[in-house]
Structure 1
Amino acid sequence: MTAPPRPPAPGAPPPPEPVTALPPRGLRRTLLTQWWRHLVFVHWPVEPQAVAPLLPPGTRPDVLDGVTYVGLVPFRMERLGFGGGPPVPLLGTFGEINVRLYSVDRRGRRGVVFRTLDCTRLLPVAVAQLVFRLPYRWASMRLETGGGEVAWTSRRIGGGASARVRVAVGERIGRPGPLETFLTARWGLHTDWYGRTRYLPNRHPEWPLHRARLLECDEDLIAACGLPRPDGPPASVLYSPGVPVRFGPPLEV
């Protein structure tokens, strides 16, 4: 007979919520709508103590089997809109590449923390920096597809950090494993919002994920974010054609 789980000790933070392929909660209302397309997920393991100082107050590294991860994720943002309104003309579609860490807050909510989000549109960069305090940077990006391959190239405007990631897309993953789900099924982000940590929740359908083989990865974005330079091959390389996404208003942490 299995013993019931022990309740947390008085004053101890609750355990992290389960890792789920679908959102564990709803949204009070929709703040933003968008599509994410042609995503490439490249992840390396990293020691939790190496990234803990880089997370917002009230959060700690989220771990799987004692290890956390740093991710390099290029994708195409499409049909960005506000509330239930139509997509923003012209400015609502752009390329983006982010470096992200994995976090859990004192309420047990799992999320991501962005160390940088390099983006091709200057106006969304300025708005996101001001309103959400997210570390957007202006960059030029190029997407190439064909022959079963997807390649992203990014370089910051004015020089600086850059990245080129090219993968061969493999078969669809019928049932993602614990690592694939841990790295992709993230239902919010944590950000330091004017000295207060906030959680910005999101909802989207279950990821359509494909295995991918890394053909090329030449980047210095991760080191530019104050993180250890990746040592060795990545632990996970995935591709997704994309999902529609909704974000709700920020919540307290």
Structure 2
Amino acid sequence: MNIMSNVGHRPWPLPSKNWIMRQRWRNLLFCHWPLPSEMLQHHIPSNLELDTYHGFAWLGVIVFMLEGIHPRGLSALSLTPAFSEVNLRTYVHYQGKPGVFFLSLDVGDWASYTIAKRWYHLPYKKAFISFQKERQSFTCQSVRKGGVHPPISFGVKYTPSSEIYVPKEGTLDHWLTERYCLFSTNHGSNLYCGEIHHHPWPLQKAEAEISRNTLFTPFNITTTEWPPIYHFSKGLDTLFWNIRKV
């Protein structure tokens, strides 16, 4: 099914027909921790508000393989080879519009780090990332480059553990995954919004074993009191619009 022909699930209309690129996301792990809002509030811009579900803010680590970035009009050409990404995010809204705010995005691809960091004003970090599949399981190991010792790292092995389902609106699964814009900031001075579109997420429950995680360390966030919940998705294609100042 054409991505643009399936829009009934969106919380607001498509911004226009003039999307600029398509990305192919595959074999995703969603890890989420519920947290008191005060643990995250001072890590987001003052003109954004934390979005909450049943009184909790949520901190997410999302691991996936990005198999292609295709500019509009060049569907057969990817700007980059396939690469993995590990992002740390929370959920916000701006004047009632819900979206994603990224605290960090670890990536080993030079083009994504250089171009996307400047274009979308996102906090990309250079990292060494390995991503492997063995039967039905996936293993990701990420070690951030830089002068911090020990380095910021994340390691996980995960396996889908249920049949595929599309989460119903109003459920936590739907709330955590069905997000159609991102917000970013330029050193705190300007706020930007990037619109995205995709089919509803095909999710599966997942089992995961996190072998190491220091992604939260720069933010002095601890999650030991709250165990994570896990979801897997085989992936989907996503359309991106140009970022705009709000």
Runs of 4+ in 1 over 6 A off after TM superposition: none
Matched, 1:75 2:69: no
Tell which structure's C-alpha radius of gyration is larger: 1
Superposition pairs for residues 65-214 of structure 1, below 5 Å?
65-86=54-75, 88-89=77-78, 91-106=80-95, 108-158=96-146, 160-176=151-167, 178-193=171-186, 195-214=189-208
Aligned partner of residue 64 in structure 1, secondary structure: coil
CA contact 2:70–2:78 (8 Å) conserved in 1: no
The one-letter amino acid paired with 1:58 is N
RMSD: 2.0
* Inter-CA distance 81–175: structure 2 relative to 1 (3 Å threshold): closer
Residues 51 and 227, structure 1, Cα contact 8 Å, conserved in 2: no
Following superposition, the deviation at residue 186 of structure 1 comes to 0.7
Distance apart, 1:133 and its partner CA: 1.2
- Aligned mates of 1:139, 1:51 — CA distance in 2: 24
- TM-fit CA distance, 1:141: 1.1
| Aligned residue identity for 1:220 | T
> What's the secondary structure of 1:27's corresponding residue?
coil
Corresponding residue for residue 220 of structure 1 = 214
Q: 3-state DSSP class of the match of 2:227?
A: coil
Q: Partners of 1:145 and 1:233 in 2: how far apart?
A: 28
Give the superposition deviation at 1:136. 0.6
Partner SS, residue 25 of structure 2:
strand
Count of aligned pairs between the two proteins: 232
Could you give the per-residue CA deviations for residues 141-160 of structure 1, whole angstroms, max 9, x where no partner exists? 11122232221111113462
User: What are the ranges of 5 or more consecutive residues in structure 2 without an aligned counterpart?
Assistant: 1-7
Q: SS where residue 214 of structure 1 aligns?
A: strand
Whether contact under 8 Å (1:27, 1:202) holds in the other structure is: no
State percent identity of aligned pairs. 25
Alignment pair present for 1:37 and 2:26: yes
Equivalent position amino acid for 1:66 in 2: G
CA contact (8 A) 2:166 2:201 kept: no
How far apart, in 2, do the equivalents of 1:165 and 1:21 lie? 31
Shift in CA distance, 233/58, structure 1 to aligned 2, threshold 3 Å: closer
